[in-house]
Structure 1
Amino acid sequence: MARKVQFQHKTNGNGNATKKRTGSSSSNESVSNPGSPVRSKNEKMNGSIPEQPAQTQNEYEKKKQTFITRSIWTLAMIGGFFLAMFSGHIYILFLITAIQIISYKEVVNIAQVPQKQKNLPLTRSLNWYFLGITMYFLYGESVIYYFKHILLVDKVLLPFATHHRFISFMMYIFGFVFFVASLKKGHYKFQFTQFAWTHMALYFIVVQAHFMMNNVFEGMIWMFLPSSLVITNDIFAYICGITFGRTQLIKISPKKTVEGFVGAWICTIAFGFVMTNILMKYKYFICPVTDLGANIWTGLDCTPNPVFIAHPYQLPAWTGFSRTFWIAPIQGHIMVFATFASLIAPFGGFFASGLKRTFNIKDFGDSIPGHGGMTDRMDCQFIMGLFSYMYYQSFIAVYKTSVGSVIESAIVGLTIEEQIEVVKGLSKYLYNQGALTEKSLSALTSALPRR
């Protein structure tokens, strides 16, 4: 005798009778509540093994494996970062470059439509072309600014250095013209969306990450300290949130709480004070880059920025305490850095969360096993790096004439004859200071052409 099968989503007026008729059917056995008499009786009669424990075991093993993978890659990333930082500035620059490229690839990929790309094979090539041009422009600006005393005296590199911006602009214009020429009827919306999406990714990732590289040139501390503040804030936001978090902070990220937000802020400030006091003792961290071959063992040498020099501070008389404290200005600035890392930088993460929800994805990619994509780990770091550079240039940097600036002014603003006179004048000055011998001065003077 055939038995009737009742689908769960269908109901009728005899719902109760239907449930009684189908209560012992095999279709309902699979959806019976755990521990129900019907299910237990049938399992004993059929000798079947309950599925719930097996599912629980599989889920536990999956979470365990994910935790192990995540932990291993966390330690690997931390170890790799410190290895690069101690090995020298050039390795950190390579690391930032790799992060730029991977993050850009992840963000651009989430807006791709493979079916349309088959008909527009040059779309992806244009994405990478604009990335290359942007990196050429930004890297060139940094290299010319920090190493102009090397580039401007080289016969081959001089034209590229003096005309760098025009060359970059024309290369971009070439890409723009190529994009317009490649527009195809029926695909206009997709192509213009890709064009806008590419430029958004360039701004939010490549441009912001570029300023992290400039921070490295100004001194390792200006890259390492802001990055560590963001990481510390993220850790303590999680700890404080699960400990006493009650009030939801923002709807786009439901797990974030006001209590965790404020608690992490306080902890990040305390961490910033401690870490700053440690880093400011080592010139390798506080000195600007003068030798890309330097590392933690060779070190760097410079006159420290006044922000790292402690000054006496006397407590006001009304406090009733007569005590003097030695405080470096950086300890005041670090409160601003920690506050930004705690209250503003997380919105970079919220922005990324909104972006992922828009495209209905969990992670930007799978570049880092157990962690998702590179962008998932760097979303707050990019905006923090940009802030650090702007704040440093506005309130901390000491502007003075550099060798590169003098050479640039002489090359750009003086004729060849005037440049020769400058060399002669400097030669006489160095001779009077004892830096040149009379023989060297005579040889130099006679070798230079006369006006």
Structure 2
Amino acid sequence: MDTTTRNRMNGNKKKKEDEVVSPSIGSPGLVNKALSKASSRDDFDSSKDETSSDDDSQAVANATNNADNAKPTDPPESKYKKLAVRSVIGAMMIAFFTLILSTDHFIVSLFVIALQLLVFKEMVSLRYIEAKEKKIPRFRTLAWFFLLSAFFFFYAKPILVKLATYYPDIFQHFVHYHLWHSFSLYCIGFVSFIFTLRKGVYRYQFSQFTWILMILMMVVVQSNFIISNIYQGFIWFILPVAIIVCNDIFAYFNGFFLGKKFIQKPLMKISPNKTWEGFIGATIWTLVFAYYFAGFLTQFQWCICPKGSSGFMETLTCVPDPVFVEKDYVLPVEVSAFLSKYIGIQMTHFSYVPIQYHALVLALFGSLIAPFGGFFASGIKRAYKIKDFDNIFPGHGGVTDRTDCQFIMGLFIHVYYLTFIKTNDLDANQIWQGLLMLPIDQQVQIYQKLQTTIESVLIKA
């Protein structure tokens, strides 16, 4: 081989080596390979974490066919078929809900807790990426541990108090130290989360942890107030739930038949299927429904009486709260004269039940504010490019799709009831639970004092 040929070959070899070490701008594949090698030599894994959010988006994008912003060209008969399916399944859900209400406060509370479990499952599964979860030992188990810890904090104490009346030696300790045990469970979960941290998936783990805490706050915390409403009287559970269901039904049917015929713009860009016609029509019909349905519920003592200390499936009797008692309002003379002279109505007074006017306030909240819980859920679905959270109920989606407005409505009822309706700060049930938490010797002292007081009152009478 001559010298010229040898030099040419050496020059080409050196040129290729230079391209690998110092890739040109026009060689993106070599650039990416070189940068990848460089980043792998870095002790930090921040570059891996930086791409985790892109992986999340790509995973959910590839896993869905029913994007929230999809526009299928369904024939007209398909549209009415979906309406029929949605109506039948909706009627079945209302019938099942009515059956649950015919049982006992404890059963209804278990029903609400079961809904929380299903919502938690749907929300956690929404961000599940199998490839990343395989790298994290027992991370999903930890998510359920946080849920059960929250359940223990919110729901265990009344059960422990009840058990302490039958087995005081065993459960009195758990009643007294309930808060400490709840905090201990939280610490166990928090420390366990730190131990599960793995290099390369830090960002995914912290985003999942934040997501779990948000679910607990939005679902479990607000549902705790719903269960509190149940024991204040079934009406404070039935009425708000019925208001949301009524608003949803009329919004759907008004939007179905009248949507975008008067106002072309959608109600919310984040939920383009919602229409102004549906929103306005649902508000009007919900106000009418709430007024008359509240008056209907006041006829039943099982609905207006608080649970108190009555037993399981025991018939409830109570002195009705003033908010449920019919009152007579005498119109001012000037108003009566105006109605008679200009309108032709002879009216000097009218009867009303205060709860009906409170129901109008509840209906306004359920029509104007509570739907934003649905818009919030729509935003989540749009972010993850899914149509429904699940397909448990044909035409309706998952449990989250049916309860997205109920949580904030339940919280509002609790705040509204304690602020504007409840007359006593303490009731007999709360006092009784407080007494059971005291040591036996203090319970005996209170019993003796109460017995002496009652005997003296009876003697005077």
- How high is the TM-score relative to the length of structure 2? 0.74
Q: Which residue of the partner structure matches residue 448 of structure 2? A: 424
Letter in 2 for 1:299: T
Q: Quote the Cα distance in structure 1 between the aligned partners of 2:114 and 2:433.
A: 32
Q: Please say which of residues 302-311 and 150-159 is displaced more in the overlay.
A: 150-159
> Which one of 266, 270, 275 corresponds to residue 248 of structure 1?
266
Structure 1 residues 277-292: aligned runs within 5 Å = 277-290=295-308
Structure 1 residues 207-222: aligned runs within 5 Å = 207-222=221-236
Q: Any idea what SS the aligned residue of 1:97 has?
A: helix
Return 5+ residue gaps in structure 1 as ranges: 1-57, 436-451
Q: Any idea what SS the aligned residue of 1:157 has?
A: helix
Q: Any idea what SS the aligned residue of 2:329 has?
A: strand
Measure how far apart 1:166 and its partner are: 1.4
Q: Which residue of the partner structure matches residue 331 of structure 2? A: 315
Indicate conservation of the 8 Å contact 1:73/1:369, yes or no. yes
Q: Quote the Cα distance in structure 2 between the aligned partners of 1:428 and 1:131.
A: 47
CA 1:166/1:421 → structure 2, altered by over 3 Å: closer, same or farther?
Answer: closer
Q: Any idea what SS the aligned residue of 1:249 has?
A: strand
Indicate conservation of the 8 Å contact 1:226/1:337, yes or no. yes
Q: Does 1:329 align with 2:357?
A: no
Listed one character per residue, the Cα deviations across residues 417-437 of structure 1 (whole Å, up to 9, x for unaligned) are x654433333334445669xx
Q: Please say which of residues 152-161 and 100-109 is displaced more in the overlay.
A: 152-161
CA 1:127/1:327 → structure 2, altered by over 3 Å: closer, same or farther?
Answer: same
Q: Which residue of the partner structure matches residue 204 of structure 2? A: 190
CA 1:110/1:232 → structure 2, altered by over 3 Å: closer, same or farther?
Answer: same
Letter in 2 for 1:278: F
Q: Any idea what SS the aligned residue of 1:256 has?
A: strand
Measure how far apart 1:136 and its partner are: 1.1
Measure how far apart 1:164 and its partner are: 1.2
Q: Quote the Cα distance in structure 2 between the aligned partners of 1:149 and 1:170.
A: 22
CA 1:154/1:397 → structure 2, altered by over 3 Å: closer, same or farther?
Answer: farther
- How high is the TM-score relative to the length of structure 1? 0.75
Measure how far apart 1:412 and its partner are: 7.1
Report % sequence identity: 38
CA 1:293/1:272 → structure 2, altered by over 3 Å: closer, same or farther?
Answer: same
Q: Does 1:109 align with 2:114?
A: no
Q: Does 1:203 align with 2:227?
A: no
Measure how far apart 1:60 and its partner are: 7.9
Count of residue pairs brought into register by the alignment: 374
Q: Quote the Cα distance in structure 1 between the aligned partners of 2:158 and 2:418.
A: 14
Structure 1 residues 235-274: aligned runs within 5 Å = 235-241=249-255, 242-243=257-258, 245-246=262-263, 247-274=265-292
Q: Which has the higher contact order (CA 8 A, sep 6+)?
A: 2
Q: Any idea what SS the aligned residue of 1:312 has?
A: strand
Q: Quote the Cα distance in structure 1 between the aligned partners of 2:86 and 2:254.
A: 21
Name the Cα RMSD after superposition. Answer: 2.9
Q: Please say which of residues 240-249 and 279-288 is displaced more in the overlay.
A: 240-249
Indicate conservation of the 8 Å contact 1:237/1:261, yes or no. yes
Letter in 2 for 1:308: F
Q: Does 1:351 align with 2:376?
A: yes
Listed one character per residue, the Cα deviations across residues 326-385 of structure 1 (whole Å, up to 9, x for unaligned) are 222212211110000000011110111110000011111122233211101111111111
Structure 1 residues 19-38: aligned runs within 5 Å = none
CA 1:328/1:143 → structure 2, altered by over 3 Å: closer, same or farther?
Answer: farther
Q: Does 1:339 align with 2:364?
A: yes
Structure 1 residues 28-427: aligned runs within 5 Å = 69-140=85-156, 154-241=168-255, 242-243=257-258, 245-246=262-263, 247-290=265-308, 295=313, 299-319=315-335, 320=337, 321=339, 322-403=347-428, 405-406=430-431, 416=441, 419-427=443-451
CA 1:407/1:170 → structure 2, altered by over 3 Å: closer, same or farther?
Answer: same
Return 5+ residue gaps in structure 2 as ranges: 1-73, 340-346
Q: Quote the Cα distance in structure 2 between the aligned partners of 1:263 and 1:128.
A: 41
CA 1:153/1:400 → structure 2, altered by over 3 Å: closer, same or farther?
Answer: farther
Measure how far apart 1:173 and its partner are: 0.7
Q: Quote the Cα distance in structure 1 between the aligned partners of 2:420 and 2:270.
A: 34
Q: Any idea what SS the aligned residue of 1:313 has?
A: strand
Listed one character per residue, the Cα deviations across residues 305-337 of structure 1 (whole Å, up to 9, x for unaligned) are 111112221112222155111222212211110
Measure how far apart 1:113 and its partner are: 0.5
Indicate conservation of the 8 Å contact 1:88/1:292, yes or no. no
Indicate conservation of the 8 Å contact 2:267/2:276, yes or no. yes
Letter in 2 for 1:86: S
Q: Quote the Cα distance in structure 1 between the aligned partners of 2:377 and 2:164.
A: 40
CA 1:267/1:193 → structure 2, altered by over 3 Å: closer, same or farther?
Answer: same
